[in-house]
Each structure stands twice: as structure tokens, then as C-alpha cells.
Amino acid sequence: MEQIIDSLHQFWQFTGFANCSWQNFVMIAIGIGFITVAILKEWEPLLLVPIGFGMIIGNIPMFPGLNIGIYEDGSVLNTLYQGVKQGWYPPLIFLGIGAMTDFSALISQPRLILIGAAAQMGIFGAYLLSLALGFQPNEAGAIGIIGGADGPTAIFLSSKLAPDLMGAIAVSAYSYMALVPVIQRPIMLALTTKKERLIKMPKPRQVSQKEKIIFPIIGFLTTAFIVPSGLPLLGMLFFGNLLKESGVTNRLARTASGPMIDVVTTLIGLTVGCSTQADKFLTGNSVKIFGLGLLSFVIATTCGVLFVKTANLFLKEGHKINPLIGNAGVSAVPDSARVSEVVGLEFDRSNHLLMHAMGPNVAGVIGSAVAAGILLGFLG
Amino acid sequence: MSVKKLFLLVPALAVSLLAGAQNVSDLIISEVMPVPDSTSLVDDFGVRNGWVELFNTSQGTVNIGGCYLTDDRSDLRKSMISTLDRSTRLGPRQSVVFYASGDQSNGTFYTSFKLRPGTTIYLVSNDGRTLVDSLSVPSGIPAGKSIAKFAYDNKAVVFSECKLSDPTPKAYNAGGKAESGAQRLAREDPYGFTLTLVSVSVVFCALLILWWLFAAMFQSANKKHRAALTAQNQKKAQAPAPKGDVNGEIAAAIAMALESGSEDEVAAAIGLAMEQWLSDTVHDNESFVVTIRRDSQSMWNNKALNFRNYQR
């Protein structure tokens, strides 16, 4: 009898109940919250569901030494986590993004590319604020990249610069990307007049196949020579796009933009979620990171819209840009472009801004990868 | 800027970059081992000599052929490095060792003088006049020890300290724990303004160059488009008000017709016709090739048939 009780006691020690703390339950509740929001509101479900479930997995209290935890060398989760830790999931996702992205909007109106540059101010605004809050420059750079509104880039950079903060940074980046419509709309309305919102932009021209093929090659050469440290992201992005546009590698493009990106997205979401273990995630720094992440989105949107307004001062009538597409420079493809479309239609049912907004939107992807490369070059 | 100017500019840039890559001022004397002991480096003839290590601090290749090594300030052309050997081209961040055998006929990487403690070794440019770098050998240096310059910043390769050490021929002289970029910035740019300014400028420049390149490359296409737009606007202004536009009711009727289960070919034809009729914002060259994949699911793989009926 005594032996049975001993065995039961020993078994109890292995259970989650014996090893849990209130922080674990908080994290599990956050994970369930993510899943709920993703299913009910359909906010970034492809990411929030894996991240949410990963949070639940990562916060199941367990007996240490069983070699199953994400931070235990050689465990299954740890092996999958290497893609995040070593930074090879994000470039693979960029390959898929490149194979999905149509750069026509940008090629037909190359002037819109600068909106993508202006919106990167969110990154550097958050960098300055992070330094002011006492973060080290490498941590500040990793936090700043949340303003790029690009999950893979945020994971890539934070895994290199501040691995300890990666969980909070990734969750913050994806959360705010899901909240883009909520964050951006009031800023866009506050910064624009009714007259500006009604600006109709000229129809973009047709883009030939030749231009679409040349774009990834020239785009890559230009950006990679200026910022070689952004090579993994930029190389994969433009390579993926070349697969799509070349017209002779459709199978590869389909795989990159379909099954491959799905697999990697699932793994990156799940493992990032798992990495947010309560003892590492529930800290004062995480709260600061969430605050700074929000501010970075606000700064990025504000700078994008204000940049267009400033540019309009110098543009002739008929060539003016609707400032409602300024927000799209923050990347977050295609959500922020969709916000431009929706807000534009609120004021003029015939004013479709989606294709115009896609220009700065994809420029934002390039811009955030370039910014990540610069930060990595300086702070790595 | 015209495309012609662009083509002139690119080779000019390339030439200037290549010229920069050949700059011998990027070379340093990184280490000198004047008095060999029984553990010292053996040359190609099995002899232990003193040696001088040169290091290329640049990111480009530098040809050291034609430069001079000397231990005499008044004779800067004492030992010339051969110009006939291709292996004198030193790659980025590469080092090379010259044996101070006192007999240059031994090979390219031998000097015509022997090393002595208490002297200074000079590296002289290929003009035979310009001093590129020097390193003083302390007079009391023990046998088997070297005097080396150490880099504490591995990225910028700034050799800031010169001290006695155990010899590390042909190896990079990393000075202990290197300072990371973040540590350096924490010291030099605590508020982050410099990094922000530089980074924002670089992001803008990169995208500006991209804009400029594309605007220049596809100038004719853009011009054609602008001309077409102007012509279209003029035509619209002169033309009478359009009749028979697809209004909401017509669109709904077509949609209902499509929904009611017409043949695939009919649906595709209506779809294409509507696309051409309604697409005033088209900007892609579409192929307008519609591929119809008929649903050929069997009892075994038909999802709908395999679903359990929901009990209400």
C-alpha cells in the first residue's frame, strides 16, 4: 500500500498541477485569448492560432529534465525552435511572400516607393524611445523593428540582436499587425481633411511581363549592395518574386507560396508561441515592449500619412496622392492597404485605393527588410 | 537622367570601386617575430627565421607586389616584393608572412634582411617613398615571442594595441573579447540620434535609388501611359454621356444567372466579358486564359459526401 502511495506521489510530482504557478495560467489564458480573437474576429488567424496554441503548449508546467521543453537541448520542440533561433524560418517565409507578391502596383507608380521609406520612421522612433526607457542598443533595435509591421523580419532581427526578448517582440508584432485596422483608421482620419480623402489618383498603367521580371533583379542588386546585411531577407523576397514572374518556374513559385510557406508559418507561429514561457515572458520588459510596439505603429502610420501630405504640397493638380494610402507604407501586407481601401470608400464609394495602396505596402516590405539589415549591420 | 548617362555612370562607378580596392594604404604590419626559437615557424627550406606578417584591413583585394619592406629608414627600397608573382594579391582581411632570411632569392615571401631586436620595420608603398606602416621591435624581446597589433573591433578592424604575445603567424590578431556593435553604440551614441539619422537616410537612399532606376528604365512606358491618359481624358470630355453602364441591378442579375448553375464555359465567357467591361482599374496584362478544372471527385474522396450530417 505504501508503495502505491509513493508511486502516486511520485506521479503527482510529474504532473503539471504540481509544477504550476499562476503565471502559467495567465499565459494559457492569453493563448486562449489569441485563439478566440483569431476565430471570432478573424484577426490574422493563420498566425494567432498557432501562436496562441504554442503559448498553451509552452506554458504547460512540467518536471524539468524530461527533455521535452522548448529550451531543453535536443527536444522535439527545441529542434523545431532552431529555425527561429538560428533565423532560417523568416527568410523562407520571405521566399513565399516574394512568390505571392505582385509588385505591379509599385512598378507602375515608382514614386509611391518613398511612402514605404517614410513609414519606416516607426522603427527608428521606437528605437529612440526604447533607448530612453533604458534598453541596450541591440534590444532597442530589436524592439524598434516591430514598427516595420513585418512578423518574419521582427523574428529574424530579434533572434540575432536580443534572443531573450524575441517572444515578446514577435507576439507584440503579430498582435499589432492583427490590430492594424483598429490602430490606423483613427490616425488616418485625424491627420487628413475631407478634401484630401476624396483625392482621386490617376489610373496606374499596365505593367509588362518584362518589367515584372526585371524588378526583382534590379531591386535585389540595388538594395543588397547598399545593405548586404539584409541579404537573407532581401535575397529570398526577390528570388521568390522572380520565381513567380519568370513564367517558367510556376511549380517552384506555387510550392514556395503555398505548401512551403504554410509549413513554415505553422512552425514559426507554434514555436514562437512555445517560447513565451511565463518566467521569460511575464516581465516588466514585456509590458514596455508592448507599449513601444504600439507607439511604433502609431509613429509609422503618422509618418506615412504626413509624408504624403507634404509631398502633395509639391505635386501638381491631377498628380496628387491620396494621403489615405500613407498608412500602407508600414508593410503589414495586405491589411494596411485594405484599411486604405475601406477608409477611402467610406468617403467616396467610387474611389478605390487598394491598388494604389499596394505600392507603398510592398515598398514597406522592402523598406523594413532594408532597415533590419541596417540595424543588424550596426548592432550585430 | 537619360539611359545613356546611366550606362556611362555605372562603369565609372565600377572603375572607381576597383581603384579603391587596390589601395596599399589599407595594409599594415600586423606582427613581427624577430628571434626564432625551437617552436617557431619553419620556412620552405626547413629553416626557422624571424618573420614579418602583413595584413590587409580592407574589404577589397590589394596587390602588395612592388611594395617594399625595410628595416632601414634611410633605405626604403631595401627589399622589394616581387611583382611577378600572382600570390602577392592579398584578399580582404587576409594576412601573409615574409621570412626574414636575408636572402631574397629564396622566393617571393623572403626579405633581403634579417630581423634584429631594437629596430623598426617599415612597409613602403610601391612608389618607394611613401611609408605605409611601421612596427618597432623592442630591444629586449625574448626568443620565440612576437610583437603584434591587436584588433579589438573585429568589424572595423581597427588595430588599437601593440604588445608582446605568443606568435600567431597568418592568423587574425583578435584582441581578446571584441566589442560588439551594440556596446560600441552604447558608448558612442547613447541616445541613438546618429544611428537613427544614418539609418533613415540609408533607407530613403536605397528606395530613392530604386525609384530613380525604375523611372529611368521604364521612362518610355510611363510617357506612353501619360499620353494615353491625356488622350482618354480628352475623348471623355468630348464624348456624349455613356449609355448602358452596368448598374447595380444588371450586375446582380448577371451574378444570379451565374449562380443558377450555368455551364462552366458560359460562366467563364460571362466572367471574362464582365472583367473587360468593368475593369477600369486594370493595371496588369492579364492573359485572359481561363482554365476550367471540372470537379471529378469520387465517392471515396468527395468531402461533401463524407461529412457527417449535422443533427438539428
Overall average pLDDT of the A117-135 stretch: 94
Q: How far is A331 from chain B (nearest CA, A)?
A: 14
pLDDT reading at A150 higher than 90: no
Domain boundaries, chain B: 23-179, 180-211, 248-293
Q: Does B42 touch chain A (CB under 8 A)?
A: no
Whether A342 contacts A354, CB under 8 Å: no
Sheet hosting strand B146-153, strand order edge to edge: B95-100, B50-56, B27-33, B146-153, B158-165
Identify whether residues A182 and A212 lie together within a single domain: yes
Residues of A in contact with B223 (CB under 8 A): none
pLDDT at B166: 81
Q: Across the interface, which of B203, B208, B229 has its CB nearest the CB of A371?
A: B203
Single-letter amino acid code for the residue at A29: A
Between chains, do A127 and B209 touch, taking CB under 8 Å as contact?
A: no
Q: Are residues A88 and A56 in the same domain?
A: no
> In chain A, what percentage of residues exceed pLDDT 90?
56
B298 touches chain A (CB under 8 A): no
Contact at CB, B207 and A114, closer than 8 angstroms: yes
Choose, out of B154, B214, B289, the residue to mutate when testing the contact with A (most A CBs < 10 Å). Answer: B214
Whether B195 and A114 lie within 8 Å, measured CB to CB: no
Q: Residues A108, A34: one domain?
A: no
- What are B54's strand-pairing partners? B29, B96
pLDDT at B21: 41
In angstroms, the Cα distances linking A185 to A152, A234, A271 are 24, 30, 32
B181–A contact, CB cutoff 8 A: yes
The pTM for the full model equals 0.68
CA gap B271, A44 in Å, rounded: 30
Q: What distance in Å separates residue A142's CA from the closest CA in chain B?
A: 11
Judgement on whether residues A57 and A196 belong to the same structural domain of the protein:
no
User: Do A50 and A96 sit in the same domain of this protein?
Assistant: no
Average pLDDT, chain A: 90
Question: Are A36 and A152 found together in one domain?
Answer: no
- For residue B185, what pLDDT is reported? 84
Å between B156 CA and nearest CA of chain A: 11
pLDDT at B302 over 70: no
Q: Which domain holds residue A163?
A: 79-379
CA distance A319 to A315: 6
**Could you report the per-residue pLDDT of A9-22, keeping only the tens digit for each?**
888 877 878 778 88
Q: What confidence score (pLDDT) does residue B282 get?
A: 47
On whether residue A74 sits in a domain, the answer given is no
Percent above pLDDT 70 for chain B: 63
List the B68-70 sheet strands across, edge first: B79-80, B68-70, B120-124, B131-136
Q: What is the DSSP letter of B156?
A: T
Look at A355 and B283 and tell me if their CB atoms are within 8 Å. Answer: yes
Please check whether residues A38 and A147 belong to one and the same domain: no
Query: Are the CB atoms for B143 and B131 separated by under 8 Å?
Result: no
Q: Which of A160-169, A241-250, B280-289 shows the lowest per-residue confidence on average (mean pLDDT)?
A: B280-289
Q: How far is A168 from chain B (nearest CA, A)?
A: 20
Measured CA to CA, the distance from residue A148 to residue B310 in angstroms comes to 45
Contact B113, B70 (CB under 8 A): yes
DSSP assigned state of B254: H
Pairing of the two strands B62-63 and B68-70: unpaired
Domain-ending residue, one of A26, A61, A96: A61
Residue of A nearest to B154 (CA): A380
- Rounded to an integer, what distance in angstroms lies between the CA atom of residue A287 and that of residue A143? 12
Residues of A whose CB is below 8 A from B246? none
Residues A20 and A163 in one domain: no
Kindly list the residues from chain A whose CB atom is less than 8 angstroms away from the CB atom of residue B213: 218, 222
The answer to whether the CB atoms of A120 and B221 lie below 8 A apart is no
* Structural domains of chain A, count: 2
Residue B31 phi, psi dihedral angles, 5° rounding: -160, 145
Would you call B221 and A204 a contact, using CB atoms and an 8 Å cutoff?
Answer: no
Write down the pLDDT at residue B118: 87
Residue B297 scores a pLDDT above 90: no
Q: Is the peptide bond between A50 and the residue preceding it cis, with omega within 30 degrees of 0?
A: no
Strands B50-56 and B158-165, by their bridges, are: unpaired
Q: Are A235 and A15 in contact (CB under 8 A)?
A: no
pLDDT of residue A144: 94
| B186 close contact with A: CB closer than 8 A | yes
pLDDT band, very low/low/confident/very high, at B1 (cuts 50, 70, 90): very low
What pLDDT shows up at residue B243?
52
Distance from CA of B168 to the nearest CA of A (A): 27
Of the candidate ranges A317-331, B152-166, B216-230, the one whose mean pLDDT is the lowest: B152-166
Whose cell is 482599374? That residue is B281
pLDDT of residue A67: 81
A2 and A88 co-located in one domain: no
Report the Cα B15 to chain-centroid distance in Å: 17
**Gap from A123 CA to chain B (nearest CA, Å):** 9
Give yes or no for residue B15 having a pLDDT over 50.
Answer: no
Give A211's contacts in chain B (Cβ within 8 Å).
218, 221
Helix/strand/coil (H/E/C) assignment for every residue in chain A: CHHHHHHHHHHHHHCHHHHCCHHHHHHHHHHHHHHHHHHHCCCCHHHHHHHHHHHHHHCCCCCCCCCCCCCCCCCHHHHHHHHHHCCCHHHHHHHHHHHHCCCHHHHHCHHHHHHHHHCCHHHHHHHHHHHHCCCCHHHHHHHHHHHHCCHHHHHHHHHHHCHHHHHHHHHHHHHHHHCHHHHHHHHHHHHCCHHHHCCCCCCCCCECHHHHHHHHHHHHHHHHHHCHHHHHHHHHHHHHHHHHHHCCCHHHHHHHHHHHHHHHHHHHHHHHHHCCCHHHHCCHHHHHHHHHHHHHHHHHHHHHHHHHHHHHHHCCCCCCCCHHHHHHHHCCCCHHHHHHHHHHHHHCCCCCCHHHHHHHHHHHHHHHHHHHHHHHHHHC
Facing A137 at nearest CB: one of B192, B209, B225: B192
Closest residue to B229, CB basis, from A104, A124, A202: A202
Residue closest to B132 by CA, chosen among B60, B74, B56, B50: B56
CB contact under 8 A, A222 and B229: no
Residue A130 has pLDDT above 60, yes or no: yes
- Select from A22, A297, A40 the least CA-distant residue to A175: A297
CATH homologous superfamily, domain B23-179: Lamin Tail domain (2.60.40.1260)
In a domain, A347, yes or no: yes
Flag whether A73 is in a domain: no
Q: What is the pLDDT of residues A164-183, one digit of tens each?
A: 888 899 889 988 888 888 89
CA B287 from chain centre, in angstroms, equals 38
- In this prediction, residue A117 carries a pLDDT of 92
Q: Which residues of A touch B182 (CB under 8 A)?
A: 136-138, 141, 161, 379-380
- The verdict on residue A179 lying in a domain is yes
Q: Is B204 on the interface with A (CB under 8 A)?
A: yes
Residue B281 — pLDDT band, cuts 50, 70, 90? Answer: very low
Q: What are phi and psi of B158, to 5 degrees?
A: -100, 115
CB pairs under 8 A between A and B: 139
Which is more confident, B86 or A233? A233
Closest-CA residue in chain B for A319? B226
Q: Is B235 helix (H, G, I), strand (E, B) or coil?
A: helix
| Confidence class for position B306, pLDDT limits 50, 70, 90 | low
Q: How many CB atoms lie within 10 A of CB A211?
A: 21
Give the mean model confidence (pLDDT) for residues A254-259.
93
Q: What is the pLDDT of residue B20?
A: 41
On whether any CB of chain A is under 8 Å from the CB of B182, the answer is yes
Closest partner residue to A114 (CB to CB) among B202, B211, B283 is B211
Per the model's pLDDT, the better-predicted residue between B236 and A278 turns out to be: A278
Give the Cα separation of A138 and A125 in Å (integer).
Answer: 15
What band does A264 get if pLDDT is binned at 50, 70 and 90?
A: very high
Do A170 and A265 have their domain in common? yes
pLDDT of residue B139: 86
Per-residue pLDDT, B91: 83
Q: Name beta bridge partners: B28.
A: B55
Alpha-carbon distance of A43 to A174, in angstroms, equals 10
- Interatomic CA distance for residues B198 and A124, integer angstroms: 10
Mutate to test the interface with B, among A296, A370, A375, A376 (most CBs of B within 10 A): A370
- Give me the mean pLDDT over the A108-116 stretch: 90
Across the interface, whether the CB atoms of B211 and A227 are under 8 A apart is answered: no
Average pLDDT over residues A98-103: 91
Instruction: Using a CB–CB cutoff of 8 Å, tell me whether B17 touches chain A.
Output: no
The distance of A202 to chain B (nearest Cα, Å) reads 8
Contacts (Cβ under 8 Å, ≥6 apart) of B186? A136, A137
% residues pLDDT > 90 (chain B): 10
Q: Which of A197, A201, A196, A177 is nearest to A300 (CA)?
A: A177
Same domain? A34 vs A121: no
Q: Is residue A72 part of a domain?
A: no
Task: Check residues A1 and A114 and name the one with the higher pLDDT.
Answer: A114
C-alpha cell at B298: 469520387
A167 and A234 both lie in a single domain? yes
Which ipTM value was assigned to this complex? Answer: 0.86
Say if residue A288's pLDDT is above 90: yes
Report the chain B residue with the minimal C-alpha distance to residue A219. B210
- Please say if the pLDDT value at position B51 is more than 80: yes
Closest residue of A to B287, CA-based?
A209
Cβ atoms of A147 and A123 closer than 8 Å: yes
Q: Which pLDDT does position B290 carry in this prediction?
A: 67
Q: In sequence order, what are the beta bridge partners of B53? A: B31, B97
